[in-house]
Amino acid sequence: MPESYRIVNYALRPAKAIERRMLCAAFERLYPFQSVKDYRYLGFGSIYFSDFQLMHRALGITDMVSIEKDVSAKPCLRFNRPFRCIRLKFATSSEILPTMRWSRRSIVWLDYDDKLNTEILGDIATVCLRAASGSVLVVTVNAHPDAEPPKDERDSYPEQTGQPFELGDYRLRLAKGLLGEKLPAGTTGADLRGQGVARVFRDVIHNVIEEQVSLRNIALPEGERVQYRQLFHFRYKDGAQMVTVGGIFHRASEEANFLACGFSALPFIRNGGDPCTIKAPCLTPKEIRHLNAQLPKKRPAFKLRVPGVPDTDVQHYAEVYRYFPTFSEVFFS
C-alpha cells in the first residue's frame, strides 16, 4: 500500500486546511506565555509539510521538528523540505518523543492517519509528562466507523468468537483490541457507529490526558502543578471521519497568562464533549467572492444571498470563511 500522501494531496483537503488555519489562529494567541516565534513546532510533516509551511510563514517559528516513520522516504523528504529550519527525524513518534528535550515550550501536533490505539495514547502520555508550561498538544486520529467485513470473515466469526456475527459486536471487539482497558466502561457496539467513534475517541484521549497530568502532579509542589485546558475538539471529513482533540498545559501559577490568551474569543474553541464540526462546502471562486463581499455579516440575522447555493452550504461557509482555502490551477513554466 502506498503512503496516504500519495493517494491524496493533503494540501487539497479543504476541511483539513480550515482546521490547520484555525489552529494557527489559536497558536497566535500564545504570546502571553512567550513570543510565539520562539516556540518549538513538532509535527508529522509528510512530504507536503503543509502545517510546517503555515506555522513558519504565519507564526515565524524556526525551531521545527518533523517526525517521519517511513525511513525509506529519507531522500524524498529531504528534497521536499520547504525550509532549512525544519529538522527531520526518521523513526516512529513513540521512539522519538521520549528521547527529546522538553524544556522549551512546544506546539505539538500529532496528526495521525490511524485509528486511536495504545501506541498513540503512549505518545500522548509522553507529551503530558514532559511538556513545559504553556505548551500545546493537538492530536488528530481517524474516527471512521468500521465497515462490515467481507463475507468470509463474517462466516468465520462464530468460530473465532463463539458469537453469531453482529456488526456492533464486531466493532466493539476491534475497539477493545485497539484500546484495551482505556475503552470507557459501558461502551457498546451501538456507540461505535456514525459519529459515535469520534465521540468515544475524544473521551479516551481526554481521559488519558487527565490521568497522565494527575500522575505528573503527584510529585510536584502546589504552585508547579500543571493543568490541562482543552481548547480544540474538531470533527471533519474530507474522506474518512477524523477527530482532533487538544489543549494547553499550564502551571497553576500561570493561570493569568492562560486567561490573557483569550482563547474563548475564537468561535471554534471547544472546552468539552461538543465538537466544532468543520464543513467545507463546494463553491466556485465567483460564489466565494460574492459571499465574502457580504461578510462579516452586518447583523447576526442577516441573510446571505448567492444564487443556487443551498442555505446550509452558505451557512457553513459563513462559519469558516476566514479560514477557507482557495485552490486554483496554476501552470508552472
Partner 1 sequence: MPPNPVTTGPKALIDASPTKDFFIHMLTRDIPLTRSILDLVDNSVDGAKRTRPDGNYDGLWVRIELNAEQFRIADNCGGIPVDVARNYAFRFGRQEGAKDTPGSMGQFGVGMKRTFFRLGRHFIVHSTTRNSQFTVDQDVDHWLADSDAPENWHFKFKKLETGLRIKEEDTGTIIAIERLLPNVKDTFALENFKGRLAEELGDAHALTLNSKLAITLNGLPIRHAPQQLFASQTLKPAFLEKAYSSQTLAGHRGPPVRVRLYAGVAERNIHDGGWYIFCNGRLILRADQTPAMAWGERHQMRAYHPDFAFFRGYAYFDSDDGSLLPWTTTKTGVDADSPIYKAVQREMIEMTKPVLTSLSNLARERATDGKEHPLETAITTARPTLVQEVAHPSIFSAPPPAPIPKGPKMQRIQYDKPAPEVERAKRMLKVRSFTAVGERTFDYFMKYEGGEGE
**Residue ranges that bind partner 1, judged by CB under 8 A:** 71-72, 91-92, 94-95, 98-99, 118-119, 121-122, 124-126, 129-130, 179-182, 208, 212, 215-216, 218-221
Q: Give least dist CB 72 to partner 1, A.
A: 8
Closer residue to partner 1 (CB): 8 or 91: 91
Q: Give least dist CB 178 to partner 1, A.
A: 9
Please check whether residue 89 is in contact with residue 68, taking contact to mean a CB–CB distance below 8 angstroms: yes
Q: Give least dist CB 80 to partner 1, A.
A: 20
Closer residue to partner 1 (CB): 119 or 313: 119
Cell matching residue 251:
502551571
Closer residue to partner 1 (CB): 85 or 129: 129
> Where are the strands (E) in 63-128, listed by range?
63-68, 86-90, 106-115
Q: Give least dist CB 226 to partner 1, A.
A: 13
Closer residue to partner 1 (CB): 54 or 97: 97
Is the dihedral angle over the CA atoms 321, 195, 245, 97 positive or is it negative? negative
Alpha-carbon distance of 231 to 212, in angstroms, equals 18
φ, ψ of residue 232 to 5 degrees: the values are -120, 140
Alpha-carbon distance of 62 to 266, in angstroms, equals 25
Q: Give least dist CB 70 to partner 1, A.
A: 11
Closer residue to partner 1 (CB): 125 or 136: 125
Q: Give least dist CB 121 to partner 1, A.
A: 4
Closer residue to partner 1 (CB): 177 or 267: 177
Please check whether residue 274 is in contact with residue 259, taking contact to mean a CB–CB distance below 8 angstroms: no
Please check whether residue 78 is in contact with residue 88, taking contact to mean a CB–CB distance below 8 angstroms: yes
Secondary-structure percent of the chain, ordered helix, strand, coil, rounded to 5: 45, 15, 35
Q: Give least dist CB 264 to partner 1, A.
A: 31
**Contacts with 22 (C-beta within 8 Å, 6 or more apart), sequence order:** 234, 266, 268, 278, 320, 323
φ, ψ of residue 11 to 5 degrees: the values are -65, -20
Closer residue to partner 1 (CB): 95 or 311: 95
Is the dihedral angle over the CA atoms 113, 230, 250, 223 positive or is it negative? negative
Closer residue to partner 1 (CB): 55 or 77: 77
Q: Give least dist CB 328 to partner 1, A.
A: 38
State the burial class of residue 72 (Cβ atoms within 10 Å of its Cβ: 0-12, 13-18, 19+).
exposed
Residue owning grid cell 502546589:
222
